[in-house]
Structure 1
Amino acid sequence: MLLPALSLAAGWFIVLGNIALAPPLLAFVAADLRMSGTEQGAFLVALPLTSFLGNVLFGPFVDRIGRSRSLTLGAAGAMLSLLGFLLVDDATTAIALRGVTGLLMPLVGISVLPCVTEYFPAGRRLALTGYVMASGSLAQMVMAPLAITLASHASWRWGFGVLAAVAGLAAAGALVSMPNRPRDARPASVRHHLRSLLPPKEREVRFSVIAFYLFVLGLFSVTALYPTWLLANLATTGDDGGEAAGVLFLVAGVAAVAASSSLGAIPRRWQRHVLVASLLLPSAVALALPAVPGHYGAQVALYTALVGLQSVASPVLRARINQLADEDDLSTVNASLNAGYQLAAATATAVAAVLYGLAPSFWLNSAVAAAGFLAAATAVLHLLRRPTTS
């Protein structure tokens, strides 16, 4: 079962790697392709906008065509669109390629975690979910520095080439190792095309999905402006703030990969307790961040703890949602999670900017984040007090 696991990890890597790739390469791409300010903005937003559209459109259909086939088609298409950057010579084509890549990414992102449920035995699913999501943390940690290094010493195009190679591995691995299992078509619904934006029908799944949204709102309320706040505080010490911040985020990234990868060691009887703790404890960590603004060591420890807890909460909660969801609706539910993640992250980032403007001390951001984490934990606790079908 190693090849299917590696294929799913490669799929999740390109989903998160595509998000992390464009911002650090923007200056190189803009200079080479002579982009205007408007074109630079379009280059950045093309992928998330079309990705959201893809989640809404494709979610209800992935279960019908088969998750393995969806993963293969999405990864193969992404490989071709990413290879297009090796030849692109104008801004319009580059923006269009980012849009096409974004539209294809949901075919991968919607399929990966449901494939864990479909192709692996129940006792291994949480561990596999952790490993797969750890690959996303790894992508976020390595793609920016790798892309900048390649751009500085060779060409910015090779960053896209690296992702294209990983996409090819994901497509080939899924094609070879995971036989496709399409689901029977269901009667069409008047709101069929919007199902990915609607709360799941099952009560346990609905509350768990809402908890996921609340957690994402809390997370981005504190993390979106944290680098800005951190650099502002580091500047007052007279040290190299950029280098210190880089070390902090590197340590946190390593912790995220380690935390996700260790989920298989959690005994089954402790999984619910771990879920509640990983949703609840970030509230205390978020409130502690602005309490020690001038203590670099404390900031490293606190932010690493926050990222580590997030790297436990997300896969455990998503694994629980996939366990509770109807087998024929797994991909639709995952499309809802992905689309909701994008909406919640965008909303929280916008709110975080306003909060930081009102209180540069960062207390408002931390308080709103803590409220989101507490609300997520409360929603899950409300479910756990009642008997479930799991």
Structure 2
Amino acid sequence: MELHCAKPAVAGSATPAVSRRYAWVVFALTFGLLLSDYMSRQVLNAVFPLLKAAWGLSDTRLGALSSVVALMVGVLTLPLSVLADRWGRVKSLVLMAMLWSLATLGCALATRYGEMLAARAIVGLGEAAYGSVGIAVILSIFPAHLRSTLTGAFMAGGAFGSVLGMAAGGYVAVRFGWRWSFGVMALFGIVLVVAYWAMVTEKRIATSQRRELQSQGMRVSFRALFTGLFSTVSVICAYIGSGLQLFIMAAVLAWMPSYLNRYYGLAPDKAGAGAAVFVLLGGIGMVACGIVTDRVSKAVPARKWLTAIAYCTLSFVLLAVAFRLPAGPMQLVLLGVGILVVAGTSGPAGAMVANLTPPAIHASAFATLTLANNLLGMAPGPLVTGFLADRIGLLGALQSIPLVSLGAMLAFTLGRTRYTRDLRRLDALRQRAAAQ
């Protein structure tokens, strides 16, 4: 059995078959749906205090409502991305966005915890492959020289969507009730889906997509794909280190509105707005740390591992100290700086994965990295924090969470010790394949 994997584009790829103006319309709509994706995902965190009071939920059950989305995304990203390439990217994007929008509306209408949990799971189902399929659509209709810029701009939409979801969700919840927070997010998504379906056609996108696949596509057996994805100790360490570090990011950001509400006495709308600032800092840190890593490792690529270890160390120290300080300005400053670097490992980890896997399976390699990020980090982070909060209080739980950075540091350290040896082994295999 064979699996189609898209190979990254090269500079000499075919000229896109759509006009520049139409391409930017597609980008704007696809970016808008990415905002809707993360707004629907993160609005829950802003209404945690109201939902807890309304239904008398434990922190463990609240955390599960957040974690189930990341769990679904982690498990389904790779298979749904493959299906979208075969079935049609535009149709897949429209179906995904409509699914998460209707599921978010289901959250607004939920009358008990089980219904809310099921609706959140469907939100995750809809969002699972949107990022990978959305960027594939965008890159297929723009010239090759714009791809780095477009990829960075598109992925930044996750942070902006999270900020909007938490800030707007808290504002609406305080004034109209928590159900309206979900309702507003659902309405925003549905409007964008209708606009996308009306303006973006499969026929026009498929023309560029067919050229892309014909010039760069290839068939890889499942066995060869699996071998390429897990061929070295160092690439496995990159997957694990990235996932563990994002455990902290997910846990802190999911519970920040509740933390500000309980320990700073902020109303849910102000707590949501305050937490949104931390989300924005996390997004800015991902970009800034990636730039720093590229500059530091320009002459010596292996330094990427050192920067990842440094980001783990800094986040561990800053967050561990911050959560042991009394509530006040100094604590907030240290939390902000800690969150600025906590996800800084995303850039180095992505570069390591790209260097340690064959170019022909980079799409699948990044889907595997997404899976590790969600199953090891984004999914368990909020849930484990909620579980601990029920037993030792939210402050005690957040004081314990930075310890996970030690596991990430260990993984990156082990990967660094094997990196040069693994690169030489991969180079030898590539030269042997080329000679054949």
TM surpasses 0.5: yes
Show the counterpart of 1:249: 275
CA distance in 1 between counterparts of 2:32 and 2:41 reads 14
Q: What are the superposed Cα offsets for residues 274-304 of structure 1, whole Å, 9 maximum, x if unpaired?
A: 6752552232331233335326444333332
Show the counterpart of 2:190: 164
Do structure 1's residue 20 and structure 2's residue 20 form an aligned pair? Answer: no
Q: Per-residue deviation at 1:106?
A: 1.7
Query: Residues 347 and 75 of structure 1: is their aligned pair in 2 closer, same or farther, counting only changes over 3 Å?
Result: closer
The 5 A counterparts of 1:1-390 are 2-25=24-47, 47-48=69-70, 50-55=72-77, 57-65=79-87, 67=89, 69-79=91-101, 81-82=103-104, 97-115=119-137, 124-154=146-176, 155-156=180-181, 157-168=183-194, 175=201, 178-179=205-206, 181=209, 186=219, 189=222, 200-201=228-229, 203=231, 207-208=234-235, 210-221=237-248, 224=251, 231=259, 235=263, 240=265, 249-260=275-286, 270=296, 276-291=306-321, 293-294=324-325, 296-315=328-347, 317-318=349-350, 321=353, 329-345=361-377, 346-348=379-381, 357=392, 360=396, 364-376=400-412, 378-379=414-415, 382-383=418-419, 386=423
Query: Residues 249 and 374 of structure 1: is their aligned pair in 2 closer, same or farther, counting only changes over 3 Å?
Result: farther
Q: Per-residue deviation at 1:175?
A: 4.2
* TM-score, length of structure 1 as denominator length: 0.69
Partner AA of 1:14 in structure 2: S
Larger Rg: 2
How many matched pairs? 377
Partner AA of 1:148 in structure 2: G
CA distance in 1 between counterparts of 2:383 and 2:116 reads 27
Confirm or deny: 8 A CA contact 1:12 1:136 kept in the other structure. Answer: yes
Query: Residues 259 and 52 of structure 1: is their aligned pair in 2 closer, same or farther, counting only changes over 3 Å?
Result: closer
CA distance in 2 between counterparts of 1:123 and 1:320 reads 23
Moved more, 59-68 or 358-367: 358-367
Confirm or deny: 8 A CA contact 2:104 2:123 kept in the other structure. Answer: yes
CA distance in 2 between counterparts of 1:384 and 1:123 reads 30
Q: What are the superposed Cα offsets for residues 240-294 of structure 1, whole Å, 9 maximum, x if unpaired?
A: 4779976763442332343456689779665655675255223233123333532
Q: Per-residue deviation at 1:160?
A: 2.0
Query: Residues 4 and 259 of structure 1: is their aligned pair in 2 closer, same or farther, counting only changes over 3 Å?
Result: farther
3-state SS of the aligned residue for 2:345? helix
Partner AA of 2:247 in structure 1: F
CA distance in 2 between counterparts of 1:23 and 1:126 reads 31
Confirm or deny: 8 A CA contact 2:169 2:272 kept in the other structure. Answer: no
* TM-score, length of structure 2 as denominator length: 0.63
Q: Per-residue deviation at 1:117?
A: 5.9
3-state SS of the aligned residue for 2:279? helix
CA distance in 1 between counterparts of 2:237 and 2:150 reads 23
Q: Per-residue deviation at 1:362?
A: 6.5
Confirm or deny: 8 A CA contact 2:286 2:343 kept in the other structure. Answer: yes
CA distance in 2 between counterparts of 1:247 and 1:153 reads 14
Residue segments in structure 2 that go unaligned for 5+ positions in a row: 1-22, 431-436
Moved more, 367-376 or 180-189: 180-189
Confirm or deny: 8 A CA contact 1:285 1:302 kept in the other structure. Answer: no
Moved more, 164-173 or 133-142: 164-173
Confirm or deny: 8 A CA contact 2:311 2:345 kept in the other structure. Answer: no
Partner AA of 1:368 in structure 2: V
Query: Residues 334 and 7 of structure 1: is their aligned pair in 2 closer, same or farther, counting only changes over 3 Å?
Result: farther
Confirm or deny: 8 A CA contact 2:94 2:193 kept in the other structure. Answer: no
CA distance in 2 between counterparts of 1:117 and 1:317 reads 22
Query: Residues 283 and 124 of structure 1: is their aligned pair in 2 closer, same or farther, counting only changes over 3 Å?
Result: farther
Confirm or deny: 8 A CA contact 2:243 2:376 kept in the other structure. Answer: yes
Q: Per-residue deviation at 1:344?
A: 0.6
3-state SS of the aligned residue for 1:181? helix
Confirm or deny: 8 A CA contact 1:214 1:372 kept in the other structure. Answer: yes
CA RMSD of aligned residues (A): 5.1
Q: What are the superposed Cα offsets for residues 150-182 of structure 1, whole Å, 9 maximum, x if unpaired?
A: 244343422321233345566667648844626
Partner AA of 2:187 in structure 1: G
CA distance in 1 between counterparts of 2:65 and 2:400 reads 32
Residue segments in structure 1 that go unaligned for 5+ positions in a row: none
Q: Per-residue deviation at 1:136?
A: 0.8
Confirm or deny: 8 A CA contact 1:216 1:341 kept in the other structure. Answer: yes
Confirm or deny: 8 A CA contact 2:67 2:381 kept in the other structure. Answer: no
Query: Residues 325 and 203 of structure 1: is their aligned pair in 2 closer, same or farther, counting only changes over 3 Å?
Result: same
Moved more, 66-75 or 320-329: 320-329
3-state SS of the aligned residue for 2:129? helix
Query: Residues 49 and 245 of structure 1: is their aligned pair in 2 closer, same or farther, counting only changes over 3 Å?
Result: closer
Q: What are the superposed Cα offsets for residues 97-128 of structure 1, whole Å, 9 maximum, x if unpaired?
A: 54443322223133234556655566654443
CA distance in 1 between counterparts of 2:140 and 2:350 reads 14
Confirm or deny: 8 A CA contact 1:286 1:367 kept in the other structure. Answer: yes
Query: Residues 260 and 119 of structure 1: is their aligned pair in 2 closer, same or farther, counting only changes over 3 Å?
Result: farther
